[in-house]
Chain A
């Protein structure tokens, strides 16, 4: 059982819908991340939060809007998405952003499989 929980597991939405993905970590970590995983592409880092402050926005379109109300929770708000946004969205956490090494590995959630119709 992962210490990082994501809901929902699956989501189908139309291009005009607004939905949110939720991530919660029970590991006491300080850094949280959103990744996008598409078929035949590398994991793409989208956003990074460290101690609730956004430290990285990896040129992500504004139709994706992250929110981090506290160190344990992370949201990804979605609106007016495109079919090419269909992918697996993975949340991850690590103890410390600055030491992404063996003593601070990424812990991933099981992801939300998003389909945009």
Chain B
């Protein structure tokens, strides 16, 4: 059973702080990793993806991947109240073939003004 684990939160951070969201996965052969953001009452939207070990930065967002530890994280710098949402970690167990994404339960982030 392939699993993706996330702390459900809520994670509360003050405005301007760094929010750190964590995700672990069980399938060691997983190849690609995604972060989706879901505002309350809205649909999930892709905000970051990472394939290789290390850090990947995009604006205020940084994704970090450590395949040896089966760990992927999302850092949000200079957090804003508009970042308050649920963040879903998703893992593609294999790069080829008909392999649907496996999602975690999501971490609810609350940025306090």
Contact of A101 with B8 in the complex, beta carbons under 8 Å: no
Report the contact-size class of chain A (Cβ under 8 Å from the partner): 20 to 34
Assess whether B105 is interfacial by the CB under 8 Å rule.
yes
Taken residue by residue from 25 to 57, chain B's Cβ proximity to chain A (1 for < 8 Å, 0 otherwise) reads as 000000010101000011111100101000000
Contact of A102 with B49 in the complex, beta carbons under 8 Å: yes
Complex alpha-carbon distance, A40 and B6, angstroms: 11
Taken residue by residue from 97 to 113, chain B's Cβ proximity to chain A (1 for < 8 Å, 0 otherwise) reads as 11111111110000000
Taken residue by residue from 29 to 46, chain A's Cβ proximity to chain B (1 for < 8 Å, 0 otherwise) reads as 000010000001111010
Question: How close is A115's CB to chain B, nearest CB, in angstroms?
Answer: 15
Looking at A12-20, A77-85, A105-113, the stretch in contact with chain B turns out to be A105-113
Complex alpha-carbon distance, A33 and B90, angstroms: 15
**Residues in A whose Cβ lies below 8 Å from that of B4:** 42
Complex alpha-carbon distance, A50 and B98, angstroms: 10
Given contacts A42-B105, A100-B92, A102-B49, contact A56 B98 (CB under 8 A): yes
Contact of A48 with B100 in the complex, beta carbons under 8 Å: yes
B103 to chain A: closest residue by CB:
A43
Assess whether A98 is interfacial by the CB under 8 Å rule.
yes
Assess whether A65 is interfacial by the CB under 8 Å rule.
no
**Residues in A whose Cβ lies below 8 Å from that of B96:** 98
B50 to chain A: closest residue by CB:
A102
Say whether chain B's binding surface is mostly helix, strand, loop, or mixed: loop
Q: Which of A4, A33, A108, A109 has the most CB of B within 10 A?
A: A108
Could you pull out 17 A-B pairs where Cβ atoms are within 8 angstroms? A40-B105, A41-B105, A42-B4, A42-B102, A42-B106, A43-B103, A45-B100, A50-B98, A55-B98, A56-B98, A97-B98, A98-B98, A102-B32, A102-B34, A106-B36, A106-B101, A108-B45
Besides A4-B43, A48-B100, A110-B43, 18 new A-B residue pairs in contact (Cβ under 8 A), listed by A number = A33-B100, A40-B8, A45-B100, A45-B101, A48-B98, A55-B98, A56-B100, A97-B98, A98-B96, A100-B99, A100-B100, A101-B32, A101-B95, A105-B34, A105-B46, A106-B46, A106-B101, A108-B45
Interface residues of B (CB under 8 A from A): 4, 8, 32, 34, 36, 41-46, 49, 51, 88, 92, 95-106
